[in-house]
Amino acid sequence: MIAPYGQEVVIDIGTGDGCFICHAARQYPQKFHIGIDANASALAKVSEKIHRKPNKGGLPNALFLQAAVEDLPAELDGSAQEVHVQFPWGSLLRGVVNGEAGVLANLRRVCAPQARLQILLGLDPVRDQTEIARLGLNALSEIYLDQVLLPRYQNAGFAVTKKQVLSSAEWSQVASSWAKRLRGNSERRLLSLTAHALEIAPVT
Ligand SMILES: C[S@@+](CC[C@H](N)C(=O)[O-])C[C@H]1O[C@@H](n2cnc3c(N)ncnc32)[C@H](O)[C@@H]1O
């Protein structure tokens, strides 16, 4: 299925309703797009849609899989040139915000050499305080990012090459149902982390 697309594979983990994958698959027909989510019910509708005829909204270059980031299929190892995590919640959110070794190792595992990892976080310290406390999330201060989180990514085989807070105008350019849902909330900070898989995976 992936073979005709050569080395051009994009994976979105915690894909939800698959909005990002469908948008990207339409925009880049030469790439193969895989949306993954732990929750099967989120994927049901879009999985049916992509299998329609192309003139009825079908997308032959897209696929959706039910899997948790903690348990990604081995068939995906080393496959992706791009890995996205957008507006994660639950254990996926905890893994990327706290830099959990197991979650980062699995993100690294699906990466091809020099793949790009793109993470978008939209946390509101007040509105999300219950969830932040429940998950034990570290506050995303500059000091925490530079001194704790980025080194954890480095240890997992990712060099973080860019971190930026996106402006409210940039929210509207994000192809994500959650971006649309959250962007009216001015207290919510949209943090973008871009990393690249290091050539040689670290020995763990
Ligand atoms: C807030 S939604 C965001 C959905 C989509 N990325 C978007 O931007 O619209 C978070 C998604 O992460 C998924 N998720 C949570 N924990 C996960 C895990 N451990 N592995 C994979 N997906 C997970 C949830 O099922 C949910 O669909």
* Tens digit of each residue's pLDDT (9 = 90 or more) over 27-48: 999 999 999 999 999 898 999 8
> Is 182 among the domain residues?
yes
User: What is the extent of the structural domain holding 24?
Assistant: 3-197
Mutate to test the pocket of ligand 1, among 66, 89, 106, 134 (most ligand atoms within 8 A of CB): 89
Provide the pLDDT for residue 183. Answer: 79
Q: Which mutation among 19, 39, 176 tests ligand 1's pocket best, with the greatest number of atoms within 8 A of CB?
A: 39
The CATH number of residue 49's host domain is 3.40.50.150
Q: What distance in angstroms lies between residue 20's CA and the mean position of ligand 1's atoms?
A: 12
In 3D, which of 3, 194, 199 has the Cα closest to residue 84? 194
Tell me, what's the pLDDT at 109?
Answer: 97
Element (H, E) at 138: none
Q: Number of structural domains, the chain?
A: 1
Which tokens belong to 63? Answer: 């696929």
pLDDT at 185: 67
Phi–psi pair at 87, nearest 5 degrees:
50, 50
Per the domain annotation, does 203 fall within a domain?
no
In a domain, 93, yes or no: yes
Across residues 97-114, what is the average pLDDT? 97
Q: Is residue 202 part of a domain?
A: no
Q: Which residues does ligand 1 sit against, CB inside 6 Å?
A: 13-16, 19, 37-39, 42, 68-70, 86-92, 176-178
Centroid of ligand 1 to alpha carbon of 145 (angstroms): 22
Atom of ligand 1 nearest to the CA of 68: 20
- The Cα–Cα gap between 152 and 204 comes to 13
Ligand 1 centroid to residue 14 C-alpha, Å: 3
- Ligand 1 centroid from CA 84, angstroms: 11
Q: How do beta strands 111-123 and 62-66 pair?
A: unpaired
| Tens digits of residue pLDDT in 154-201 | 999 999 999 999 887 788 888 999 998 887 766 788 999 999 999 865
Centre of ligand 1 to C-alpha 3, Å, is 27
Distance of CA 59 to the CA centre of its chain: 20
In this predicted structure, what is the pLDDT of residue 204? 59
Residue 103 located in a structural domain: yes
Element (H, E) at 5: none
